[in-house]
Amino acid sequence: MNERKLAKSFFNVNVKKNFKLAIISPHTFLIEAFLQRMRTKKYEGLFTSWISLDEKYMLVRTPQHAPIIDVLLPLREISDLLLFVGLCGGLRNWMKIGEVVCITTSFLFGKKAITKVSEIKYPSSKEVSSLCVHSILLERKFFSVPNVKNFDVVDMESYFVLKYGKQPTLLSIISDLPLKRPLYLTTKREREIVRRSGEKIADFILDGRWIK
């Protein structure tokens, strides 16, 4: 089965021409940031997706970690570019909650690191490397300075997006600082800052400011 047929099976959509950009995220509030700014039609398949009425954009809610591959492979055939918008933990002292970074290198335990050039340049975002983990909670024992000194952030999807995504860009919002304090100690104000960062990304993309 080819990817275009997979797209029909997984997303329940018939694609006549490629979308300019596929936007994917596992986080509901980030999906909603785009939906609030788009006129779309919703499709229910194996995965829930939305297509803009001008058919330039496809928006997909994805699973976390490795199952995201099942979204990435069908999208390769039906979109020109891929944008993943997600969350990450900041591992550098200079990082702040709500800051947007662009992940261009990712490492998964036991695998060779993947590096890709970002197709979309988000203003003021630094290019960073990520340690991609299976579970934030199960692998929190690794979050010590000796183990993560070669990485800037930690997340759960970047390795797969860089490996399987078509011309991918990964914009990730720093949602916590795991070397300083646990995830569950983020404040209401910090969570609001993260939410607003997601809205700014949606504004930037849908305004077309990323188009070269």
Average pLDDT on 112-140 reads 84
pLDDT reported for residue 134:
79
Average pLDDT (128-137) is: 83
The answer for residues whose C-beta is within 8 angstroms of residue 42's C-beta and 6 or more apart is 48, 49, 50
pLDDT at 149 over 90: no
With bands split at pLDDT 50, 70 and 90, how would you rate the model's confidence at 138?
low
Instruction: Indicate whether 140 pLDDT > 80.
Output: no
Does 12 score more than 80 pLDDT?
yes
Average pLDDT of every residue of the chain:
89
User: Which CATH topology does 3-206 take?
Assistant: Rossmann fold (3.40.50)
Q: How confident is the model at residue 34 (pLDDT cuts 50, 70, 90)?
A: very high
Decide if pLDDT at 89 tops 80.
yes
Q: Is the dihedral of CA 13, 199, 143, 154 positive or negative?
A: positive
Domain ranges of the chain: 3-206
What pLDDT sits at residue 96? 96
Q: Per-residue confidence at 145, pLDDT binned at 50, 70, 90?
A: low
Sign of the Cα torsion 9, 13, 14, 17 reads negative
The terminus-to-terminus CA distance of the chain in angstroms comes to 34
Q: List 85's β-bridge partners, or say none.
A: 171
pLDDT for residue 136: 65
Q: Parallel, antiparallel, or unpaired for β 100-108 and 168-176?
A: antiparallel
What pTM was computed for the model?
Answer: 0.92
pLDDT digits (tens, 9 = 90+) for 45-76: 999 999 999 999 999 999 988 889 999 999 99
Least confident of 69-83, 140-154, 177-191: 140-154
Range picked from 82-86, 110-114, 152-156 for highest mean pLDDT: 82-86
